[in-house]
Structure 1
Amino acid sequence: MSIAEIGEFGLIARVVSRLETGPTVLLGPGDDGAVVAAPDGRVVASTDVLVEGRHFRRDWGSATDIGHRAAAANLADIAAMGATPTALLVALCAPGDLEVGWAEELAVGLSAEAALVGASVVGGDMSSSPTLTVAVTALGDLGGRPPVLRSGAQPGDVLALAGRTGHAAAGYTILSRGFRTPKALVEAYRRPDVPYQAGPLAARHGATSMIDISDGLLQDLGQIASAGLVAIDVHSDAFTAPPHMRDAALALGVDPLQWLLGGGDDHALAATFPPGTPLPEGWHEIGRVYDGEGVTVDRKPWSGPRGWDHFK
């Protein structure tokens, strides 16, 4: 059955039936707006959009996979502010011949990823469109802490990483070449493994700046360097490609370090900490902050890919 056959309100009913409501939701889908608890008194908000053919392909992953990816892209932004995600709002624009089951599976993926952090899908919107598009807005709670901004890095700070980089980029390259293995890398592209708890943990340990690595490590570190008017140097020896990544890189003629430093979509978190501060559990040092500007690798300019830019 297509969504044109079931209609907007029939589709909404089917999708809502797939959603679970968490403890922060005081009023879920069904009214003009949802009501979500904000114990801190401040709400962190972020939004992201996934467009078919630009951000995902239906033949590369299931609707459930795409739901996980769409939710993760937004939940990671909330964690990068040092906050705990509480709710998601989702807008779906789709062609009328889209199968109802696909939209239902998308809802399952969105809800399941949100549940990993105790958040819920609380509402959204739907519209007909020739291009399948999923737009998500995430809300979060700071728990009484100040937000961790991109602009706070200081010369002498330690640069640290939580989570992994390069895996989703490797999976993307594999899929784009028409292959489906190694499965671990393909699955990393389909469903990110995001260190959500590392964000609030870093905030509690005094992180001076933080960012979600969505477009590539070097690209996103450039945002911290620019915002803080500092230079950042990444230590290449802090990165080791696992055997299956090295094997895939050899077969595809790629330097795995290009994936590790320039690949996005894993949604690792990068943060800076004052010198001498013990790093929180799950974080490891990958570089330093200096006076100056820009991002270097081993104190030298990086000539390889730096990351994704939608308009380049």
Structure 2
Amino acid sequence: MDSLGEFGLIARVTAGRTYPDSVLLGPGDDAAVVTAADGRVVITTDMLVEGRHFRRDWSGPRDIGRKAIAQNGADIAAMGARSTAFVVALSCPADLTVAEAEDLNAGLWDEASRAGGAVVGGDVTAGDHLVVSVTAVGDLAGASPIRRDGARPGDVLAVSGPTGSSAAGYALFVAEVEDHPDLLAAHRVPQPDYDAGPAAARAGATAMCDVSDGLLADAAHLAVASGVVLAVESARLPVPPALREAATELGADVLDWVLGGGEDHVLLATFPADTALPSGWTVVGSVMEGGEKNGAEGAGSVTVDGSEWTGVRGWTSF
């Protein structure tokens, strides 16, 4: 890396890339230029820190790049928007090779393309640990953003896919059990359905969020913002057979993974009760009266089968 230098690395990882029509000017100038035909820009940022969010002995550079884009692209989708561009800042340790940096870049591009956008710029510096910081830009295409504060009593609560696989993969890595490759892969690289957010918006979703910290933890954010109670029914939660098998093997409660495990990056949304849900969405509960909005005293909460959940509730950064 030292022999290549900052600008040599930038030139190497941007060479030969093609960009979607939404990118008017890509890397190489002081800033990129992307279209904002809607007149509004959806924007989010997130960071992956080595030792906190990933381990290089568990995840390859391409996996890390894909994960960094996925967690930002899922936030864009949770607003009902589509990703158009990603800006990436890297802090690279001395032991990161040029080949590893190129693999990381390939992962960033692979997932950015899958999300519908492109990597349009960023920054590179040296550091003690590998850090990947991504800013994502999205387009609402004329639609209204789906916020967290729109859930109404009488709505249904639904998820766009199963939760718990990343948490199961983490537990398997810790236990050094390798006979569930799909769950290990789910921990390395989440697989957001980037179409699920815009599809939910078109179907009439009243509130929506990304499940990054765990279903209960993120449901609580939605419940507080909307001033409602979200009543989750455990029997309705989608639980893949592999998840149950791994829980039995490790002696774990599968619901701790499904309700409290983070980094699956599926979407959680509320819909009017008579809505025909988009493909892939599953009703897992209902919305009930629950106080005033936005954290006022007595505001929103989450129950599981009518009671407060006493198991794992999700990830916290501090």
With normalisation by structure 1, the TM-score equals: 0.96
Shift of 1:247: 1.8
Percent identity between the two aligned chains: 54
Shift of 1:253: 1.2
SS of the aligned residue for 2:192 comes to coil
Aligned to 2:155: 157
Cα deviations by residue, 1:220-253 (Å, 9 ceiling, x for unpaired): 0000001111111111001243232222111211
Aligned to 2:306: 299
Match of 1:187 among 185, 190, 197: 185
Aligned to 1:276: 274
Q: What code does the residue aligned with 2:304 have? A: V
SS of the aligned residue for 1:4 comes to coil
SS of the aligned residue for 1:310 comes to coil
Consecutive unaligned residues of structure 2, counting only runs of 5 or more, are 291-299
Question: For the residues of structure 2 that align with 1:125 and 1:32, how far apart are their CA atoms?
Answer: 11
Shift of 1:140: 0.2
Aligned residues: 309
SS of the aligned residue for 1:96 comes to coil
Match of 2:250 among 252, 263, 288: 252
Aligned to 1:37: 35
Shift of 1:24: 1.2
> 1:234–1:287: 8 Å Cα contact kept in structure 2?
yes
Shift of 1:19: 4.2
Shift of 1:310: 1.0
Aligned to 2:141: 143
1:89 aligns with 2:91: no
1:226 aligns with 2:233: no
SS of the aligned residue for 1:152 comes to coil
Match of 2:13 among 12, 15, 35: 15
Aligned to 1:308: 315
Judged with a 3 Å threshold, the aligned counterparts in structure 2 of structure 1 residues 244 and 7 are, in CA distance, closer, same or farther, namely same
Q: What code does the residue aligned with 2:23 have? A: V
Q: What code does the residue aligned with 1:178 have? A: E
Match of 1:27 among 21, 25, 28: 25
Question: For the residues of structure 1 that align with 2:275 and 2:240, how far apart are their CA atoms?
Answer: 29
Question: For the residues of structure 1 that align with 2:4 and 2:58, how far apart are their CA atoms?
Answer: 26
Cα deviations by residue, 1:65-122 (Å, 9 ceiling, x for unpaired): 1111100000000000000100000000112331111111111011111111320000
Consecutive unaligned residues of structure 1, counting only runs of 5 or more, are none
Matches within 5 A, 1:90-169: 90-169=88-167
Judged with a 3 Å threshold, the aligned counterparts in structure 2 of structure 1 residues 71 and 294 are, in CA distance, closer, same or farther, namely same
